[in-house]
Amino acid sequence: MSRCQIKNVKKDEFQIVSFIGHIDEAFMQVATTIPDLESYIFSFKNLISINSSGIREWILYAQKLKSKKVILTDCPKVFIDQASMVEGFIPSHFQIQSFYVPYFNEETDAEKLVLVQYGTEFTKEKNSIPHEFTDTDGLKYEIDIIPSKYFKFLTKS
């Protein structure tokens, strides 16, 4: 049995699908509960992990949506890592609306995940995601990934 749960909510012309937990070898069984519509918003805010079998299952499912409009939101690091490493993980017609970037403060050993938005911090043509930021308490955080690797998915077509 899959450790992934899916929550479906209809909003306007989109079906909002929230992926919760872990995408694994049984993902396709769970994915069959997603209604067949023309437009989807996939939220990964509560996604914890994707194992190697889950990567394969996700790609197979995504290929079935080749004629659909699909927007991806709240993509966590585990999702973005795969998007940058695995060819075909995000089909070219899918649009990433938002994803998390990890930042780290050496002074406090604190990590912050910052949600970046399409049209604000990045587009298909441009990446203006800051390499550092100062939080509301005045603490300086530096990006905690290798930008050329982590943001590779932004340049894939």
Show the tokens assigned to 77.
């690091």
Mean pLDDT of 127-149: 95
* Cα–Cα nearest to 94, from 56, 119, 64, 54: 64
Residue 1: band (very low, low, confident or very high) from pLDDT cuts 50, 70, 90: very low
Q: State how far the Cα of 110 lies from the Cα of 133, in Å rounded to an integer.
A: 13
What residues does each domain of the chain span?
A: 4-155
Q: Say which residue, 3 or 98, is predicted with more confidence.
A: 98
Question: Would the pLDDT of 48 be above 50?
Answer: yes
Q: Using one digit for the tens of pLDDT, what is the confidence trace for 2-15? A: 577 878 777 777 78
Q: State how far the Cα of 93 lies from the Cα of 69, in Å rounded to an integer.
A: 7
The proportion of the chain whose per-residue pLDDT surpasses 90, expressed as a percent, equals 80
Whole-model pTM above 0.85? yes
* Cα–Cα nearest to 102, from 140, 123, 76: 76
Q: Does domain 4-155 have CATH number 3.90.850.10?
A: no
Mean pLDDT of 117-123: 95
DSSP secondary structure code for residue 31 in this structure: H
